[in-house]
A and B are shown apart, each in its own frame.
Chain A
Amino acid sequence: MHRIVAKIQLSPNVTRLDVEAPRVAQIRQPGQFVIVRRTDRAERIPLTVADADPKAGTIALVIQAVGKSTKELVALNVGDVIRDVAGPLGMPTELISKGRALCVGGGVGTAVVHPIAQGLHARGASVTSVIGGRSKEWVIFEPELQRYGNVVVCTDDGSYGRKGFVTDASRELLEAGGIDIVYAVGPVPMMRAIANLTRPFGVHTIVSLNPVMVDGTGMCGGCRVDVGGETKFACVDGPEFDGHKVDFDLLADRLSTYRPQEQAAAERCGDNCRVGLNK
């Protein structure tokens, strides 16, 4: 059992839960995730370890409420427990220790980029972050990322930072030169756009893939993705891959496999799920 020790609403549909998981807190590395199961009948869902406090023995999960499982998780309160937290899973991020990295985060992906920026900074690389959201209230993790370097905020409506997409700001930075590597995490279309953007610049680009997972240990093959024409299991071979080789169409397509079931589940969970959301 893993107790929730803190809860913060970061944006209208993104919540941060700090959860007791001492072993994971101690050894997690950037890029790794846990598989969480709220109760006995619940689904196993993967969530990135967005931050950790090894002394307190807690990890930060930053959760975008998109369906039944995530809505039920963000409806939990301080003192409630999560039944299972398994991990850390996945390969640690390939980090550089000198040179300059560009970290691009879109929406909840910003929280996934956070430990990468943290790791880069700790190793001595210089970090620039470009993060985005629909409007001001959707921008998350800006203060945290500022600890590791310059942060450029973009909003679609221009209500905060600069108006436009993260790709626009990233293009300018790439054109200005001096970027050795790009890490991009966000919705599939965003990661695809960033990969397409960096390709002509010849800058190595790492993206974090989010296929549907079950076990997270390489046992089921449900998380398979195509990277450079080869089938990979994202949970053990990734979740981060070379963005220039990823078949984003396949990823987006496989993510839609359970859409009817997800809708049915979301409808069924009704009011129970909405608690946490109407704040």
Chain B
Amino acid sequence: MSIDISPASAPKKLSPKERMAIERQCMPEQGATARAANFKEVNLGFPEQLAFLEAERCIQCKDPKCVQGCPVRVNIPRFIGFLAAGDLAGAAQSLLGDNALPAVTGRVCPQETQCEEQCIRGIKGKPVAIGYLERFVADWAREHRNGAKPAAVPASGKKVAVIGAGPAGLTAAGELAKRGHDVTVYEALHQAGGVLVYGIPEFRLPKKIVDMEVQRLRDAGVKIECNVIVGRTYTLPELREQFDAIFIANGAGLPVFMNVPGENFKGVYSANEYLTRVNLMSAYEFPSADTPVLVGKRVVVVGGGNVAMDAVRTAKRLGAEDAVIVYRRTKAEMPARVEEVHHAEQEGVRFELLVAPLEVIGNDKKWVTGLKCQRMQLGEPDKSGRRRPVAIPGSEFVLECDVVVVAIGTRANPLLTATCPELKLNKRGNIEADENGMTSLPGVFAGGDIVRGAATVILAMGDGKKSAQAIDDYLRKPAASA
């Protein structure tokens, strides 16, 4: 079927049948061999024509289920409707009103378990490529709406401190600035972005995009002070004296190790360290960047989430001949985004499934030489409903390798909370907060991974947005300054 999609002419009205006949468009991407040897973005983005065509697939449901699947309730049919009508500016305005960082979420949301999972077109066939369209509109907006100054808002006279410049903190900062508050973001590292700059690799989310979003916030009057570690440079009680309200969004950055023998041998990294060296510190450009990273010939990454996929694909790009995922369940239970697992497979990553690590093996110089593992089988379902892996006796074997990356999770970093014992935490060290992000301390709000445990970018942003509203309400209450 041929459809006139030249953007100059107004799009033709399609019959429902024609609309239903359009197939889901594929994301153009760098070829697997080429990209496995560079750090450039894998997905190249829809060209305009594919975007318009894909937008036509949306049947503009009266009761759009997709929106229910989106944690921040982006009005999906609305922005896609503008797009289908060729009105890119309209689409951008609609999308940006709902989602502060669409260029980021369009790239990293697990769409297949969120918006796209609910899309009606997915019942018989493939769902509308909402994430790809979101990315397309966001990228267009970035290139075409530069300099669009946000409308000036009257200053509220209130000061708010945001701790942590990850997606939760940045979203909250933007929303608070929009409401006229004087916002200062404190970030421990030398660069704003949180996991978006130190964890998620360049080949999935170019740093340039995050930097531009951060610049947009600065232009909107948000002050961002890097190299400030709250808990050390300032304590929480000190900030409470200086600010009318506080939003804590310091993430869940404490790496969890396996607790097996040999874990301190040279060549064992936490995923946080491995990815920070490569992303934040640009170690993939060593020696033109100063920070080194060990380039393994055979790299084993333990874990099955996005973090593990990012680490293993990074290893491949650094030049590993063999890059292996060790995961103790099956592919079906992997928490990673489907696209990431798929891309990793295409790039030649090996998967050792139903395998659990027992011990890191090293030589007499204490360099890693292997990972001793055992095979597992799935037994009875556990509390999470997933079938529990059970060790198969006598199945031990050694995976030879020279670098091991541990990507089995992160926890709350106690650096900040330790300076404020009155702040209520749960058993796992996460801050307790109600649905608006209010903590046990008046005027102190929290959101993102520090409250949820390691979650997702969009949930962190959702928290930032909600808490900004709650902080605004709190500050406008007459008694607030008392």
Contacts and interface: CB of A to CB of B under 8 A. Distances in A.
Contacts of A88: 232-233
Interface string B323-366: 00000000000000000000000000000000000000000011
Interface string A105-124: 00000000000000000000
A224 B264 contact: yes
B288 A261 contact: no
Contacts, number: 107
Interface in B229-269: 229, 232-234, 253-255, 257, 263-264, 266-267, 269
A42 B292 CA distance: 11
Interface string A215-235: 101111110101000010000
A43 B291 contact: yes
A253 B366 contact: yes
B290 A218 contact: no
B5 interface: no
Contact of B294 (A24, A84, A219, A257): A257
A43 B281 contact: yes
B287 A265 contact: yes
B413 A218 contact: yes
Nearest to B291: A43
Contact of B277 (A87, A214, A236): A214
A253 B270 CA distance: 18
A231 B281 CA distance: 25
B415 A218 contact: yes
B190 A44 contact: yes
A41 interface: yes
B289 interface: yes
A85 interface: yes
Contacts of B257: 221, 231
B29 to A, nearest CB: 29
A225 B246 CA distance: 34
Contacts of A69: 290
A150 B370 CA distance: 52
A42 B286 CA distance: 11
A37 interface: yes
Interface in B194-249: 198, 226-229, 232-234
A69 B456 CA distance: 36
A214 B190 contact: no
A41 B280 CA distance: 10
B254 A218 contact: yes
Contacts of A264: 287
A250 B276 CA distance: 23
B273 A214 contact: yes
B415 to A, nearest CB: 6
Contact of A221 (B190, B272, B291, B292): B272
A101 B227 CA distance: 34
A221 B255 contact: yes
Interface residues of B, number: 40
Contacts of A43: 281, 290-291
Q: Give the interface size class of chain A.
A: 35 or more
B253 A219 contact: yes
Interface in A6-25: 23-24
Contacts of B234: 23
B439 interface: no
A214 B281 contact: yes
Contact of B290 (A42, A89, A220, A257): A42
Contacts of A214: 273, 276-277, 281, 291
A231 B264 contact: yes
B184 interface: no
Contacts of A24: 233
Contacts of A221: 255, 257, 270, 272-273
Contact of B415 (A23, A86, A217, A254): A217
Interface in A31-46: 37, 41-44
B59 interface: no
A89 B291 contact: no
A84 B190 contact: yes
Contacts of B273: 214, 220-222
A249 to B, nearest CB: 9
Given A44-B281, A68-B290, A264-B287, A220 B229 contact: no
Interface of B: 188-190, 198, 226-229, 232-234, 253-255, 257, 263-264, 266-267, 269-270, 272-273, 276-277, 281-282, 286-292, 294, 365-366, 413-415
Given A43-B281, A215-B189, A217-B188, 8 more contacts: A41-B289, A86-B227, A86-B229, A89-B229, A215-B276, A218-B254, A219-B198, A231-B257
12 contacts: A23-B233, A43-B290, A84-B226, A86-B189, A217-B188, A217-B189, A218-B413, A219-B254, A219-B272, A219-B276, A220-B255, A220-B276
